[in-house]
Chains A and B, each alone.
Chain A
Amino acid sequence: MSAGPADPQRRLADNPFYVLGLRPECGRLDVEREGQKLLGMLELGLKSAASYMTPLGPQPRSADKVRAAMAELRSPDRRLLHEFWALLPPKPEPPRPQPPPKPEHDLEPFAGAFAAHGWKRP
Protein backbone atom coordinates (compact mmCIF):
# COMPACT_ATOMS: atom_id res chain seq x y z
CA MET A 1 0.00 0.00 0.00
CA SER A 2 1.35 3.39 -0.82
CA ALA A 3 0.51 6.83 0.45
CA GLY A 4 -0.52 8.32 -2.83
CA PRO A 5 1.57 8.51 -5.93
CA ALA A 6 5.27 7.71 -5.70
CA ASP A 7 6.09 10.90 -7.53
CA PRO A 8 6.55 13.58 -4.88
CA GLN A 9 5.45 16.21 -7.35
CA ARG A 10 2.03 14.60 -7.59
CA ARG A 11 1.60 13.74 -3.93
CA LEU A 12 -0.16 16.98 -3.19
CA ALA A 13 -1.41 17.80 -6.65
CA ASP A 14 -3.30 14.52 -7.04
CA ASN A 15 -4.50 14.18 -3.48
CA PRO A 16 -8.05 12.76 -3.69
CA PHE A 17 -9.44 15.38 -1.36
CA TYR A 18 -8.26 18.21 -3.58
CA VAL A 19 -9.41 16.36 -6.69
CA LEU A 20 -12.91 16.05 -5.29
CA GLY A 21 -12.87 19.54 -3.77
CA LEU A 22 -13.45 18.12 -0.28
CA ARG A 23 -11.75 18.55 3.07
CA PRO A 24 -10.47 15.65 5.20
CA GLU A 25 -13.32 15.92 7.69
CA CYS A 26 -16.00 15.12 5.08
CA GLY A 27 -18.21 12.05 5.40
CA ARG A 28 -18.17 8.97 3.22
CA LEU A 29 -21.34 9.92 1.44
CA ASP A 30 -19.87 13.29 0.52
CA VAL A 31 -17.18 11.45 -1.36
CA GLU A 32 -19.73 9.49 -3.40
CA ARG A 33 -22.00 12.47 -3.92
CA GLU A 34 -19.28 14.86 -5.04
CA GLY A 35 -17.58 12.22 -7.13
CA GLN A 36 -20.80 11.30 -8.88
CA LYS A 37 -21.57 14.94 -9.53
CA LEU A 38 -18.13 15.70 -10.87
CA LEU A 39 -18.18 12.66 -13.13
CA GLY A 40 -21.48 13.86 -14.56
CA MET A 41 -20.17 17.37 -15.06
CA LEU A 42 -17.00 16.13 -16.72
CA GLU A 43 -18.99 13.85 -19.00
CA LEU A 44 -20.98 16.88 -20.11
CA GLY A 45 -17.79 18.88 -20.53
CA LEU A 46 -18.75 21.62 -18.08
CA LYS A 47 -16.07 24.24 -17.54
CA SER A 48 -16.74 24.57 -13.85
CA ALA A 49 -15.53 21.02 -13.26
CA ALA A 50 -12.46 21.25 -15.45
CA SER A 51 -9.99 22.15 -12.72
CA TYR A 52 -9.51 21.98 -8.98
CA MET A 53 -7.50 23.92 -6.47
CA THR A 54 -4.54 22.67 -4.47
CA PRO A 55 -2.27 24.56 -2.08
CA LEU A 56 0.09 25.02 -5.01
CA GLY A 57 -2.46 26.29 -7.49
CA PRO A 58 -5.02 24.87 -9.89
CA GLN A 59 -4.73 21.45 -11.54
CA PRO A 60 -6.68 19.96 -14.44
CA ARG A 61 -9.35 17.49 -13.43
CA SER A 62 -10.23 14.36 -15.39
CA ALA A 63 -12.77 11.58 -15.00
CA ASP A 64 -9.94 9.11 -14.43
CA LYS A 65 -8.62 11.18 -11.57
CA VAL A 66 -12.07 11.49 -10.01
CA ARG A 67 -12.76 7.79 -10.19
CA ALA A 68 -9.36 6.96 -8.75
CA ALA A 69 -9.89 9.50 -5.97
CA MET A 70 -13.24 7.98 -5.04
CA ALA A 71 -11.75 4.50 -4.94
CA GLU A 72 -8.87 5.66 -2.77
CA LEU A 73 -11.13 7.32 -0.24
CA ARG A 74 -13.46 4.36 0.07
CA SER A 75 -10.85 2.37 1.95
CA PRO A 76 -10.47 3.88 5.42
CA ASP A 77 -6.86 2.76 5.59
CA ARG A 78 -5.92 4.61 2.47
CA ARG A 79 -8.08 7.52 3.33
CA LEU A 80 -6.17 7.92 6.58
CA LEU A 81 -2.97 8.52 4.65
CA HIS A 82 -4.57 10.85 2.14
CA GLU A 83 -6.09 12.87 4.96
CA PHE A 84 -2.63 13.41 6.29
CA TRP A 85 -1.45 14.83 3.00
CA ALA A 86 -4.49 17.07 2.54
CA LEU A 87 -3.80 19.08 5.63
CA LEU A 88 -2.96 22.30 3.83
CA PRO A 89 -5.97 24.31 2.67
CA PRO A 90 -6.29 24.66 -1.09
CA LYS A 91 -5.33 28.09 -2.27
CA PRO A 92 -8.33 30.33 -2.77
CA GLU A 93 -6.91 32.67 -5.44
CA PRO A 94 -5.05 31.63 -8.57
CA PRO A 95 -1.31 31.70 -7.99
CA ARG A 96 0.83 34.62 -9.02
CA PRO A 97 2.60 33.92 -12.26
CA GLN A 98 6.13 32.82 -11.50
CA PRO A 99 8.92 34.88 -13.00
CA PRO A 100 11.20 32.77 -15.18
CA PRO A 101 14.31 31.59 -13.33
CA LYS A 102 17.20 34.01 -13.67
CA PRO A 103 19.95 32.75 -15.94
CA GLU A 104 23.08 31.88 -14.06
CA HIS A 105 25.42 33.44 -16.59
CA ASP A 106 25.35 36.86 -18.02
CA LEU A 107 25.85 35.22 -21.38
CA GLU A 108 22.74 33.65 -22.86
CA PRO A 109 22.94 30.16 -24.34
CA PHE A 110 23.97 30.30 -27.98
CA ALA A 111 21.09 28.77 -29.84
CA GLY A 112 22.89 28.70 -33.16
CA ALA A 113 25.97 26.88 -31.95
CA PHE A 114 25.36 23.76 -34.02
CA ALA A 115 24.06 25.64 -37.00
CA ALA A 116 27.20 27.75 -36.99
CA HIS A 117 29.03 24.55 -37.90
CA GLY A 118 26.64 23.77 -40.66
CA TRP A 119 24.97 21.08 -38.50
CA LYS A 120 21.27 21.53 -38.87
CA ARG A 121 20.45 19.32 -35.91
CA PRO A 122 20.07 18.87 -32.97
Chain B
Amino acid sequence: MSFASLLGLVILVLALAAWLLLLWSAIEPLLWLVIRRIVAPRGLVRTAATLARLCRGGFEHDLRGGSALAGALALAARGAHDERLATWLEGQLGKPGALGAAGVVAAGLIAASRGQRDAARDLMHNAAGFDAERAPAAARVVANEWLVADAAERGDWGTVMRLGVRRDVASAQTRFLAFAAARVRRQPLIDEPSATDAGLRWLWWRTPDRGRTRPLLLQALATPRVMHSRKPTPKPPEPAPPPLDPAEFAGDPVAYAQALHALWTAAEAAWRNLSPTHLAGLCKAWDAAFAGPALARLAARVQVLTTVTKAEAALAQIRRSVADDLAQLASRAQIPLSALTEAGGVGAEAGLLLRAELLTEVEKQNQALRLRTQQKRKLPAVEELREWNSLRRAYERAVLLGGLELRRLMFPDIHLHVCNYAVWLWNDRKEYGISGPLFRWLLTEAEAVGDEEAIVLQRKNVGVK
Protein backbone atom coordinates (compact mmCIF):
# COMPACT_ATOMS: atom_id res chain seq x y z
CA MET B 1 0.00 0.00 0.00
CA SER B 2 1.37 3.36 -0.95
CA PHE B 3 1.91 6.17 1.44
CA ALA B 4 -0.68 8.22 -0.38
CA SER B 5 -3.39 5.63 -0.04
CA LEU B 6 -2.50 5.23 3.59
CA LEU B 7 -2.77 8.96 4.05
CA GLY B 8 -6.02 8.87 2.20
CA LEU B 9 -7.31 6.19 4.49
CA VAL B 10 -6.28 8.14 7.55
CA ILE B 11 -8.00 11.23 6.21
CA LEU B 12 -11.06 9.19 5.43
CA VAL B 13 -11.16 7.70 8.89
CA LEU B 14 -10.63 11.08 10.49
CA ALA B 15 -13.34 12.61 8.37
CA LEU B 16 -15.66 9.78 9.24
CA ALA B 17 -14.91 10.22 12.91
CA ALA B 18 -15.43 13.94 12.70
CA TRP B 19 -18.66 13.38 10.86
CA LEU B 20 -19.81 10.88 13.46
CA LEU B 21 -18.86 13.25 16.24
CA LEU B 22 -20.78 16.00 14.53
CA LEU B 23 -23.73 13.74 14.10
CA TRP B 24 -23.54 12.71 17.73
CA SER B 25 -23.39 16.27 19.01
CA ALA B 26 -26.39 16.98 16.84
CA ILE B 27 -28.42 14.11 18.19
CA GLU B 28 -27.07 14.08 21.74
CA PRO B 29 -29.38 16.85 22.96
CA LEU B 30 -32.19 14.85 21.48
CA LEU B 31 -31.22 11.87 23.57
CA TRP B 32 -32.48 13.48 26.79
CA LEU B 33 -35.72 14.20 25.01
CA VAL B 34 -35.95 10.59 23.95
CA ILE B 35 -35.37 9.47 27.52
CA ARG B 36 -37.95 11.84 28.94
CA ARG B 37 -40.61 11.32 26.34
CA ILE B 38 -40.18 7.73 25.31
CA VAL B 39 -38.09 5.65 27.69
CA ALA B 40 -39.00 7.08 31.10
CA PRO B 41 -42.79 7.15 30.60
CA ARG B 42 -42.60 3.39 29.99
CA GLY B 43 -41.12 2.91 33.42
CA LEU B 44 -37.89 1.42 32.09
CA VAL B 45 -35.73 2.42 35.02
CA ARG B 46 -32.48 0.66 34.18
CA THR B 47 -32.67 1.45 30.48
CA ALA B 48 -33.28 5.13 31.13
CA ALA B 49 -30.43 5.25 33.62
CA THR B 50 -28.03 3.54 31.23
CA LEU B 51 -28.97 5.67 28.25
CA ALA B 52 -28.58 8.83 30.28
CA ARG B 53 -24.91 7.97 30.77
CA LEU B 54 -24.45 8.96 27.14
CA CYS B 55 -25.76 12.48 27.73
CA ARG B 56 -22.31 13.96 28.24
CA GLY B 57 -23.40 17.39 27.15
CA GLY B 58 -26.25 17.74 29.61
CA PHE B 59 -24.63 16.26 32.69
CA GLU B 60 -20.94 16.49 32.07
CA HIS B 61 -20.10 17.23 35.74
CA ASP B 62 -22.60 14.83 37.10
CA LEU B 63 -23.14 11.85 34.86
CA ARG B 64 -24.01 9.72 37.83
CA GLY B 65 -26.70 12.18 38.94
CA GLY B 66 -28.06 12.48 35.43
CA SER B 67 -28.32 8.76 35.11
CA ALA B 68 -30.09 8.51 38.46
CA LEU B 69 -32.42 11.29 37.43
CA ALA B 70 -33.42 9.48 34.27
CA GLY B 71 -33.97 6.33 36.28
CA ALA B 72 -35.99 8.17 38.89
CA LEU B 73 -38.20 9.72 36.20
CA ALA B 74 -38.92 6.23 34.96
CA LEU B 75 -39.55 5.04 38.51
CA ALA B 76 -42.11 7.80 39.00
CA ALA B 77 -43.88 6.72 35.84
CA ARG B 78 -44.44 3.18 37.07
CA GLY B 79 -47.89 2.26 38.27
CA ALA B 80 -46.74 1.09 41.67
CA HIS B 81 -43.69 1.93 43.71
CA ASP B 82 -40.92 -0.60 43.23
CA GLU B 83 -38.66 -0.59 46.26
CA ARG B 84 -36.08 -2.82 44.59
CA LEU B 85 -35.58 -0.37 41.77
CA ALA B 86 -35.64 2.56 44.18
CA THR B 87 -32.90 0.93 46.22
CA TRP B 88 -30.89 0.24 43.12
CA LEU B 89 -31.14 3.88 42.13
CA GLU B 90 -30.15 4.98 45.61
CA GLY B 91 -27.16 2.71 45.32
CA GLN B 92 -26.16 4.49 42.12
CA LEU B 93 -26.50 7.81 43.90
CA GLY B 94 -24.54 6.67 46.91
CA LYS B 95 -21.37 5.95 44.97
CA PRO B 96 -18.42 8.15 45.87
CA GLY B 97 -18.22 11.62 44.41
CA ALA B 98 -19.93 14.87 45.18
CA LEU B 99 -23.65 15.19 44.83
CA GLY B 100 -25.04 17.48 42.15
CA ALA B 101 -28.50 18.90 41.59
CA ALA B 102 -29.46 16.09 39.23
CA GLY B 103 -28.81 13.61 42.01
CA VAL B 104 -30.84 15.68 44.42
CA VAL B 105 -33.79 15.80 42.03
CA ALA B 106 -33.46 12.06 41.57
CA ALA B 107 -33.50 11.60 45.36
CA GLY B 108 -36.55 13.84 45.47
CA LEU B 109 -38.37 11.76 42.90
CA ILE B 110 -37.48 8.58 44.77
CA ALA B 111 -38.77 10.08 48.00
CA ALA B 112 -41.96 11.14 46.22
CA SER B 113 -42.35 7.68 44.83
CA ARG B 114 -42.19 6.35 48.38
CA GLY B 115 -44.91 8.78 49.34
CA GLN B 116 -42.63 11.09 51.37
CA ARG B 117 -43.92 14.20 49.76
CA ASP B 118 -42.65 16.78 52.23
CA ALA B 119 -39.16 15.43 51.99
CA ALA B 120 -39.44 15.39 48.21
CA ARG B 121 -40.53 19.01 48.17
CA ASP B 122 -37.58 20.04 50.32
CA LEU B 123 -35.16 18.24 48.05
CA MET B 124 -36.61 19.88 44.95
CA HIS B 125 -36.16 23.25 46.57
CA ASN B 126 -32.59 22.27 47.44
CA ALA B 127 -31.92 21.46 43.81
CA ALA B 128 -33.19 24.87 42.83
CA GLY B 129 -30.65 26.43 45.20
CA PHE B 130 -27.59 24.70 43.70
CA ASP B 131 -24.96 26.70 41.85
CA ALA B 132 -25.63 26.80 38.12
CA GLU B 133 -22.49 24.81 37.24
CA ARG B 134 -23.60 21.94 39.43
CA ALA B 135 -27.19 22.14 38.33
CA PRO B 136 -27.77 21.09 34.72
CA ALA B 137 -30.74 22.76 33.13
CA ALA B 138 -32.50 19.47 32.58
CA ALA B 139 -32.46 18.76 36.32
CA ARG B 140 -33.68 22.19 37.26
CA VAL B 141 -36.50 21.90 34.76
CA VAL B 142 -37.65 18.61 36.29
CA ALA B 143 -37.43 20.04 39.81
CA ASN B 144 -39.50 23.00 38.81
CA GLU B 145 -42.06 20.85 37.05
CA TRP B 146 -42.40 18.71 40.11
CA LEU B 147 -42.81 21.71 42.41
CA VAL B 148 -45.43 23.22 40.13
CA ALA B 149 -47.33 19.96 39.84
CA ASP B 150 -47.15 19.56 43.59
CA ALA B 151 -48.49 23.06 44.16
CA ALA B 152 -51.25 22.56 41.60
CA GLU B 153 -52.30 19.35 43.20
CA ARG B 154 -52.48 21.03 46.58
CA GLY B 155 -54.46 23.92 45.09
CA ASP B 156 -51.64 26.35 45.90
CA TRP B 157 -52.12 28.33 42.70
CA GLY B 158 -50.11 31.29 43.89
CA THR B 159 -47.00 29.12 43.86
CA VAL B 160 -47.94 27.67 40.49
CA MET B 161 -48.16 31.18 39.05
CA ARG B 162 -44.85 32.17 40.57
CA LEU B 163 -42.79 29.08 39.68
CA GLY B 164 -44.56 28.21 36.46
CA VAL B 165 -43.07 31.10 34.51
CA ARG B 166 -39.68 31.19 36.20
CA ARG B 167 -36.99 32.02 33.63
CA ASP B 168 -34.72 29.24 32.42
CA VAL B 169 -36.63 26.48 34.09
CA ALA B 170 -40.23 26.95 32.99
CA SER B 171 -41.48 24.24 30.65
CA ALA B 172 -44.52 24.15 28.40
CA GLN B 173 -46.45 22.34 31.06
CA THR B 174 -45.63 24.75 33.89
CA ARG B 175 -46.25 27.77 31.70
CA PHE B 176 -49.62 26.49 30.69
CA LEU B 177 -50.63 25.85 34.32
CA ALA B 178 -49.44 29.29 35.37
CA PHE B 179 -51.20 31.12 32.56
CA ALA B 180 -54.42 29.18 32.94
CA ALA B 181 -54.45 29.79 36.67
CA ALA B 182 -53.81 33.49 36.18
CA ARG B 183 -56.72 33.66 33.78
CA VAL B 184 -59.17 31.83 36.01
CA ARG B 185 -58.12 33.69 39.12
CA ARG B 186 -58.05 37.02 37.29
CA GLN B 187 -54.59 37.74 38.64
CA PRO B 188 -51.49 38.92 36.81
CA LEU B 189 -48.28 36.96 36.43
CA ILE B 190 -45.00 38.55 37.35
CA ASP B 191 -43.47 40.20 34.26
CA GLU B 192 -45.80 38.40 31.89
CA PRO B 193 -48.79 39.78 30.01
CA SER B 194 -51.95 37.79 30.38
CA ALA B 195 -52.36 35.21 27.63
CA THR B 196 -54.72 35.52 24.73
CA ASP B 197 -57.10 32.68 23.92
CA ALA B 198 -54.84 31.65 21.09
CA GLY B 199 -51.83 31.86 23.36
CA LEU B 200 -53.49 29.64 25.90
CA ARG B 201 -54.42 27.12 23.22
CA TRP B 202 -50.86 27.07 21.94
CA LEU B 203 -49.46 26.51 25.40
CA TRP B 204 -51.97 23.77 25.99
CA TRP B 205 -51.12 22.14 22.69
CA ARG B 206 -47.53 21.72 23.85
CA THR B 207 -48.38 20.06 27.18
CA PRO B 208 -47.44 16.39 27.20
CA ASP B 209 -50.84 15.08 28.25
CA ARG B 210 -53.46 17.22 26.56
CA GLY B 211 -56.28 15.01 27.70
CA ARG B 212 -55.66 15.75 31.34
CA THR B 213 -55.00 19.45 30.97
CA ARG B 214 -58.00 20.04 28.71
CA PRO B 215 -60.58 20.74 31.46
CA LEU B 216 -58.30 23.44 32.80
CA LEU B 217 -58.02 24.95 29.34
CA LEU B 218 -61.78 25.01 28.96
CA GLN B 219 -62.24 26.62 32.36
CA ALA B 220 -59.64 29.24 31.49
CA LEU B 221 -61.19 29.98 28.09
CA ALA B 222 -64.56 30.37 29.75
CA THR B 223 -63.16 33.14 31.94
CA PRO B 224 -62.98 36.52 30.23
CA ARG B 225 -59.49 37.86 29.81
CA VAL B 226 -58.57 40.82 32.00
CA MET B 227 -55.84 43.18 30.92
CA HIS B 228 -55.11 44.77 34.22
CA SER B 229 -54.68 43.24 37.56
CA ARG B 230 -57.86 43.21 39.46
CA LYS B 231 -58.30 41.48 42.73
CA PRO B 232 -61.34 39.25 42.76
CA THR B 233 -63.93 40.77 45.04
CA PRO B 234 -63.69 38.61 48.13
CA LYS B 235 -66.97 36.95 48.86
CA PRO B 236 -67.99 37.19 52.48
CA PRO B 237 -67.31 33.72 53.89
CA GLU B 238 -70.41 31.95 55.00
CA PRO B 239 -70.04 31.32 58.69
CA ALA B 240 -70.42 27.62 59.39
CA PRO B 241 -72.68 27.02 62.34
CA PRO B 242 -70.35 26.42 65.28
CA PRO B 243 -70.75 23.05 66.97
CA LEU B 244 -71.14 24.93 70.22
CA ASP B 245 -72.19 28.47 70.95
CA PRO B 246 -70.15 30.22 73.63
CA ALA B 247 -72.71 33.02 73.81
CA GLU B 248 -75.03 30.58 75.59
CA PHE B 249 -72.66 30.66 78.54
CA ALA B 250 -72.09 34.41 78.60
CA GLY B 251 -73.32 34.60 82.20
CA ASP B 252 -70.57 32.37 83.59
CA PRO B 253 -67.00 33.51 82.83
CA VAL B 254 -65.55 30.04 83.42
CA ALA B 255 -68.06 28.26 81.23
CA TYR B 256 -67.73 30.95 78.61
CA ALA B 257 -63.97 30.64 78.49
CA GLN B 258 -64.25 26.87 78.28
CA ALA B 259 -66.81 26.97 75.51
CA LEU B 260 -64.69 29.38 73.51
CA HIS B 261 -61.63 27.26 74.22
CA ALA B 262 -63.41 24.11 73.08
CA LEU B 263 -64.60 25.83 69.95
CA TRP B 264 -61.08 26.68 68.85
CA THR B 265 -59.14 23.73 70.16
CA ALA B 266 -61.46 20.78 69.98
CA ALA B 267 -63.70 21.41 67.00
CA GLU B 268 -62.33 19.82 63.84
CA ALA B 269 -59.69 22.05 62.18
CA ALA B 270 -61.23 25.20 63.64
CA TRP B 271 -57.75 26.67 64.11
CA ARG B 272 -57.55 27.25 60.38
CA ASN B 273 -59.86 30.23 60.81
CA LEU B 274 -58.19 31.56 63.93
CA SER B 275 -56.97 35.13 63.67
CA PRO B 276 -54.83 37.07 66.16
CA THR B 277 -57.98 38.92 67.25
CA HIS B 278 -59.74 35.66 67.97
CA LEU B 279 -56.76 34.47 69.95
CA ALA B 280 -56.68 37.68 71.95
CA GLY B 281 -60.40 37.23 72.66
CA LEU B 282 -59.76 33.73 73.93
CA CYS B 283 -56.93 34.91 76.16
CA LYS B 284 -59.15 37.64 77.54
CA ALA B 285 -61.93 35.18 78.28
CA TRP B 286 -59.51 33.01 80.24
CA ASP B 287 -58.09 35.94 82.13
CA ALA B 288 -61.61 36.86 83.18
CA ALA B 289 -62.24 33.28 84.29
CA PHE B 290 -58.97 33.11 86.19
CA ALA B 291 -59.55 36.48 87.84
CA GLY B 292 -61.69 34.88 90.53
CA PRO B 293 -64.58 32.68 89.47
CA ALA B 294 -62.39 29.69 88.62
CA LEU B 295 -60.69 29.69 92.00
CA ALA B 296 -64.00 30.03 93.84
CA ARG B 297 -65.39 27.06 91.99
CA LEU B 298 -62.33 24.93 92.70
CA ALA B 299 -62.22 25.93 96.35
CA ALA B 300 -65.82 24.78 96.80
CA ARG B 301 -65.05 21.40 95.25
CA VAL B 302 -61.82 20.97 97.22
CA GLN B 303 -63.99 21.11 100.32
CA VAL B 304 -66.33 18.41 99.05
CA LEU B 305 -63.71 16.08 97.65
CA THR B 306 -61.19 16.68 100.46
CA THR B 307 -58.26 16.65 98.10
CA VAL B 308 -54.66 16.96 99.10
CA THR B 309 -54.22 19.50 96.31
CA LYS B 310 -55.08 23.02 97.34
CA ALA B 311 -57.42 25.02 95.14
CA GLU B 312 -54.60 27.38 94.22
CA ALA B 313 -52.39 24.52 93.14
CA ALA B 314 -55.19 23.04 91.07
CA LEU B 315 -55.78 26.39 89.46
CA ALA B 316 -52.11 26.67 88.64
CA GLN B 317 -52.26 23.29 86.94
CA ILE B 318 -55.29 24.27 84.94
CA ARG B 319 -53.70 27.54 84.01
CA ARG B 320 -50.69 25.67 82.77
CA SER B 321 -52.75 23.37 80.59
CA VAL B 322 -54.67 26.33 79.19
CA ALA B 323 -51.37 28.02 78.40
CA ASP B 324 -50.18 24.80 76.75
CA ASP B 325 -53.28 24.68 74.60
CA LEU B 326 -53.00 28.33 73.64
CA ALA B 327 -49.39 27.82 72.64
CA GLN B 328 -50.28 24.82 70.52
CA LEU B 329 -53.15 26.70 68.95
CA ALA B 330 -51.01 29.70 68.06
CA SER B 331 -48.36 27.39 66.67
CA ARG B 332 -50.82 25.55 64.44
CA ALA B 333 -52.53 28.66 63.21
CA GLN B 334 -49.11 30.30 62.72
CA ILE B 335 -50.00 33.31 64.76
CA PRO B 336 -46.98 35.42 65.67
CA LEU B 337 -45.60 35.04 69.13
CA SER B 338 -46.09 38.73 69.74
CA ALA B 339 -49.87 38.32 69.56
CA LEU B 340 -49.67 36.03 72.58
CA THR B 341 -47.14 38.10 74.48
CA GLU B 342 -49.11 41.27 73.99
CA ALA B 343 -52.31 39.62 75.20
CA GLY B 344 -50.76 39.50 78.69
CA GLY B 345 -52.03 37.19 81.43
CA VAL B 346 -52.31 33.55 80.47
CA GLY B 347 -51.58 34.49 76.87
CA ALA B 348 -48.17 35.78 77.85
CA GLU B 349 -47.51 32.51 79.68
CA ALA B 350 -48.43 30.64 76.54
CA GLY B 351 -46.11 32.89 74.59
CA LEU B 352 -43.21 31.92 76.83
CA LEU B 353 -43.99 28.24 76.41
CA LEU B 354 -44.16 28.50 72.66
CA ARG B 355 -41.00 30.55 72.53
CA ALA B 356 -39.13 27.97 74.56
CA GLU B 357 -40.47 25.17 72.38
CA LEU B 358 -39.42 26.85 69.16
CA LEU B 359 -35.96 27.61 70.46
CA THR B 360 -35.44 24.21 72.00
CA GLU B 361 -36.31 22.44 68.79
CA VAL B 362 -33.73 24.45 66.88
CA GLU B 363 -31.14 24.05 69.62
CA LYS B 364 -31.58 20.30 69.75
CA GLN B 365 -31.11 19.86 66.05
CA ASN B 366 -28.28 22.31 65.97
CA GLN B 367 -26.52 20.40 68.72
CA ALA B 368 -26.98 17.17 66.82
CA LEU B 369 -25.40 18.75 63.77
CA ARG B 370 -22.54 20.12 65.84
CA LEU B 371 -21.87 16.72 67.34
CA ARG B 372 -21.87 15.01 64.03
CA THR B 373 -19.56 17.57 62.49
CA GLN B 374 -17.23 17.33 65.43
CA GLN B 375 -17.12 13.55 65.33
CA LYS B 376 -17.01 13.58 61.55
CA ARG B 377 -19.82 11.10 61.26
CA LYS B 378 -20.71 11.18 57.58
CA LEU B 379 -24.09 10.52 56.06
CA PRO B 380 -24.90 9.84 52.43
CA ALA B 381 -25.03 13.21 50.68
CA VAL B 382 -28.78 13.15 50.18
CA GLU B 383 -29.27 12.44 53.86
CA GLU B 384 -27.02 15.34 54.69
CA LEU B 385 -29.36 17.54 52.72
CA ARG B 386 -32.36 16.17 54.51
CA GLU B 387 -30.86 16.77 57.92
CA TRP B 388 -30.03 20.30 57.00
CA ASN B 389 -33.55 20.79 55.65
CA SER B 390 -35.02 19.70 58.90
CA LEU B 391 -32.87 22.11 60.91
CA ARG B 392 -33.62 24.91 58.50
CA ARG B 393 -37.33 24.19 58.71
CA ALA B 394 -37.26 24.40 62.50
CA TYR B 395 -35.30 27.63 62.30
CA GLU B 396 -37.56 29.19 59.73
CA ARG B 397 -40.60 28.21 61.70
CA ALA B 398 -39.16 29.93 64.75
CA VAL B 399 -38.47 33.00 62.64
CA LEU B 400 -41.96 32.92 61.17
CA LEU B 401 -43.57 32.91 64.59
CA GLY B 402 -40.96 34.66 66.66
CA GLY B 403 -39.82 37.33 64.24
CA LEU B 404 -36.57 39.21 64.38
CA GLU B 405 -36.15 38.75 68.10
CA LEU B 406 -35.81 34.98 67.85
CA ARG B 407 -33.88 35.25 64.64
CA ARG B 408 -31.21 37.29 66.36
CA LEU B 409 -31.22 35.08 69.37
CA MET B 410 -30.77 31.87 67.40
CA PHE B 411 -28.33 33.10 64.83
CA PRO B 412 -25.04 33.14 66.77
CA ASP B 413 -25.27 29.45 67.64
CA ILE B 414 -26.66 28.47 64.27
CA HIS B 415 -23.98 30.41 62.50
CA LEU B 416 -21.22 28.78 64.46
CA HIS B 417 -22.30 25.19 63.92
CA VAL B 418 -23.81 25.42 60.47
CA CYS B 419 -20.74 27.23 59.24
CA ASN B 420 -18.47 24.52 60.64
CA TYR B 421 -20.71 21.95 59.08
CA ALA B 422 -20.63 23.64 55.69
CA VAL B 423 -16.86 23.96 55.90
CA TRP B 424 -16.57 20.27 56.66
CA LEU B 425 -18.75 19.47 53.67
CA TRP B 426 -16.74 21.78 51.47
CA ASN B 427 -13.16 21.09 52.53
CA ASP B 428 -13.18 17.46 53.57
CA ARG B 429 -15.97 16.08 51.51
CA LYS B 430 -16.00 18.23 48.43
CA GLU B 431 -19.78 18.42 48.51
CA TYR B 432 -19.77 21.83 46.90
CA GLY B 433 -23.30 21.45 45.67
CA ILE B 434 -24.65 21.18 49.20
CA SER B 435 -22.39 23.57 51.05
CA GLY B 436 -22.57 26.42 48.54
CA PRO B 437 -26.23 27.12 49.28
CA LEU B 438 -25.47 26.76 52.99
CA PHE B 439 -23.00 29.62 52.84
CA ARG B 440 -25.46 31.69 50.84
CA TRP B 441 -28.16 30.97 53.39
CA LEU B 442 -25.85 31.97 56.23
CA LEU B 443 -25.04 35.20 54.45
CA THR B 444 -28.70 36.07 53.97
CA GLU B 445 -29.36 35.38 57.61
CA ALA B 446 -26.32 37.33 58.76
CA GLU B 447 -27.53 40.29 56.74
CA ALA B 448 -31.03 39.94 58.13
CA VAL B 449 -29.80 40.08 61.72
CA GLY B 450 -27.04 42.54 60.98
CA ASP B 451 -24.16 40.39 62.23
CA GLU B 452 -21.26 42.27 60.68
CA GLU B 453 -18.60 39.73 61.50
CA ALA B 454 -20.61 36.89 60.01
CA ILE B 455 -21.43 38.97 56.96
CA VAL B 456 -17.75 39.46 56.25
CA LEU B 457 -16.98 35.80 56.72
CA GLN B 458 -19.87 34.52 54.64
CA ARG B 459 -19.23 37.01 51.85
CA LYS B 460 -15.81 35.47 51.62
CA ASN B 461 -17.25 31.97 51.65
CA VAL B 462 -19.81 32.77 49.02
CA GLY B 463 -17.15 34.47 46.97
CA VAL B 464 -18.91 37.82 46.68
CA LYS B 465 -16.75 40.79 47.41
Contacts and interface: CB of A to CB of B under 8 A. Distances in A.
Asked if A and B touch directly (CB within 8 angstroms), the answer is yes
Interface of A: 1-4, 6, 8-13, 24, 55-57, 76-77, 79-81, 83-85, 87-88, 91, 95-96, 98-99, 101-122
Interface string B256-269: 00110110011111
A interface SS class: loop
Query: Which of B177, B232, B265 has the most A CB atoms < 10 Å from its CB?
Result: B265
Contact of B258 (A10, A85, A104, A119): A85
Contacts of A119: 76-77, 109, 112, 146, 149
A101 B266 CA distance: 16
Given A101-B240, A117-B208, A121-B112, 14 more contacts: A4-B321, A76-B307, A77-B307, A87-B258, A91-B244, A101-B269, A107-B181, A115-B209, A116-B173, A117-B209, A118-B40, A119-B76, A119-B109, A122-B115
Contacts of B243: 56-57, 95-96, 98
Given A101-B272, A116-B149, A120-B76, A110 B216 contact: yes
B117 A2 contact: no
Contact of B262 (A3, A56, A102, A105): A56
B48 to A, nearest CB: 12
Contacts of A105: 155, 157, 185
Contacts of B244: 55-56, 88, 91
Interface of B: 40-41, 76-81, 109, 112-113, 115, 117, 120, 145-146, 148-150, 152-155, 157, 173, 177, 181, 184-185, 207-209, 212-213, 216, 219, 232, 237-238, 240-241, 243-244, 249, 254-255, 258-259, 261-262, 265-269, 272, 294, 297-298, 301-302, 305-309, 314, 317-318, 321, 324-325, 328-329
Given A56-B244, A110-B177, A120 B79 contact: yes
Contact of B149 (A4, A6, A107, A113): A113
B262 A12 contact: yes
B376 to A, nearest CB: 35
Nearest to A84: B318
Given A81-B314, A81-B317, A116-B208, A102 B238 contact: yes
Contact of A113 (B80, B153, B208, B261): B153
B258 A111 contact: no
Contacts of B329: 8
Contacts of A111: 153
Nearest to A104: B155
A80 B305 contact: yes
B268 A98 contact: yes
A121 B153 CA distance: 12
A103 B297 CA distance: 43
A8 B328 contact: yes
B115 A121 contact: yes
A107 B157 contact: yes
Given A9-B266, A98-B243, A120 B237 contact: no
Contact of A107 (B155, B173, B297): B155
Query: Which of A13, A77, A101, A121 has the most B CB atoms < 10 Å from its CB?
Result: A121
Contacts of B41: 118
A86 to B, nearest CB: 9
B153 A120 contact: no
B317 A3 contact: yes
A87 B255 contact: yes
A91 B216 CA distance: 45
Nearest to A3: B321
A99 B77 contact: no
Given A3-B317, A105-B155, A122-B112, A80 B309 contact: yes
Q: Closest 4 A-B residue pairs measured CB to CB?
A: A109-B155, A8-B265, A113-B152, A8-B325
B347 to A, nearest CB: 15
A13 B262 CA distance: 9
A118 B146 CA distance: 11
